Amino acid sequence: MATMHDVARLAQVSVSTVSYVLTGTRPISQATRNRVLAAMAELDYQPNAMARGLASRRSRILGLLMPMDERGLGATETAFVTGAAAAASAAGYHLVLSPVGGGNLDDLRRLASQRMLDGVVLMEVQLADERVTVLQEAGVPLVLIGRTGDTSTLSYVDIDFDQTVREAVAHLVGLGHRRIVYVNHSAATLASGYGPALRTRDAFTAAMTGHGLEPVMIAAEDSAAGGRAALAAAFARTPELTAVLAMNETAIFGILGELTGRGLSVPDDVSVVSMVTSPQVAELATPALTAMTSPGSALGRIAIEALVRHLDGSAVDRHQQLLPCALEVRGSTAAPRSRQPMGADQ
């Protein structure tokens, strides 16, 4: 393994000159630069990341902390990751994913304090997230995907749930639906302070009320069985329901199954809209689901870019941004059978 000394000797320059060629920190004449570059190529030189990190006090590694819980990453989360990885690579950083589960907060503390990460992006942030505290105490630059309860001091990128829910509801109302049920994540998830669940709940209430309609929300366990139970509960509360809006990607398959089981057809009897869903998942269902497609890779990219700007010092203040999901109409929504669609002109 060739070192800088070897390169310097071969190119007949000092070690520091080689370093300057590599980092561009100081001007180097074209002639010298070429000699150095040639020497590097000949020796197949690769800088030692550890030595670099030690001397410069920055590792050029960014962490993407993702909770790896029971259910795997959906296509949505995967899009975050690929977007982030591409952005990091473009900025000359490595991106490592760290599967910090719930328990190992100490693991996280260690990782952070060991100065191995220049900065981190945190996924799936809770309203009150201990990880944020740990990282802030360790002085690690931080960008969130999602938001904590108090958004004032931190950088974040998140989905604009308010706008997304409003659009979904408007789509259904525009088709003529009046009895719309919202299937959210489980009660436990809501109680734990999971931002998306809470924000969509509030947004749904606001949107429905705005249309003069009654907001009915059901909390469903994240499983097919949970979806089934939720639908049963929905019919119990609102027998004439004609549309379901679902945040719970897992439950939605149970909902569809139960609908079919009751002899109801989608979309003729009941329309279904899935929230924050990737096209891949939406296409899995029969018929394919009308869904609010999450901005996916853009979220990851923007988060990394904000973090890098912060590290490079080109931006000192925090970055806060919301991205809406886009409505993609597929086969699971239609006008309700019992009445004609109501356009704005009626």
Partner DNA sequence: ACACGTCGTCGAAGCGTTTCGACGAAGCGG
Partner DNA sequence: CCGCTTCGTCGAAACGCTTCGACGACGTGT
- Which residue stretch of 70-78, 145-153, 240-248, 334-342 sits at the interface with its own copies (rule: CB under 8 A)? 70-78
When asked if residue 27 is in the footprint of DNA (CB under 7 A), the reply is: yes
When asked if residue 283 is in the footprint of its own copies (CB under 8 A), the reply is: yes
Count interface residues toward its own copies (CB under 8 A).
58
When asked if residue 265 is in the footprint of its own copies (CB under 8 A), the reply is: no
Looking at beta carbons only, is 80 or 194 nearer to its own copies?
Answer: 80
Instruction: Select from 54, 128, 232, 264 the one that contacts DNA (CB under 7 A).
Output: 54
When asked if residue 32 is in the footprint of DNA (CB under 7 A), the reply is: yes
Count interface residues toward DNA (CB under 7 A).
33
Which of its own copies, DNA, none lies near 34, with the C-beta cut-off 5 to 8 A by kind? none
When asked if residue 110 is in the footprint of its own copies (CB under 8 A), the reply is: yes
- Which residue stretch of 10-18, 180-188, 297-305, 318-326 sits at the interface with DNA (rule: CB under 7 A)? 10-18
Instruction: Select from 47, 174, 193, 331 the one that contacts its own copies (CB under 8 A).
Output: 47
In sequence order, which residues have a C-beta less than 8 Å from that of residue 322 and are 6 or more positions away? 157, 158, 159, 160, 163
- Which residue stretch of 44-52, 134-142, 160-168, 197-205 sits at the interface with DNA (rule: CB under 7 A)? 44-52
Number of Cα atoms under 13 Å in the Cβ half of residue 31:
2
The binding track of 180-219 with respect to its own copies, each residue x by CB under 8 A or -, is: ----------------------------------------
When asked if residue 285 is in the footprint of its own copies (CB under 8 A), the reply is: yes
Angle 83-88-92 (CA atoms, 0-180°, nearest 5)?
A: 150
When asked if residue 51 is in the footprint of DNA (CB under 7 A), the reply is: yes
Instruction: Select from 38, 41, 42, 56 the one that contacts DNA (CB under 7 A).
Output: 56
When asked if residue 97 is in the footprint of its own copies (CB under 8 A), the reply is: yes
d(CA 92, CA 86): 10
Site of interaction with DNA (CB under 7 A) = 1, 3-5, 12-20, 22-23, 25-29, 31-33, 45-48, 51-52, 54-57
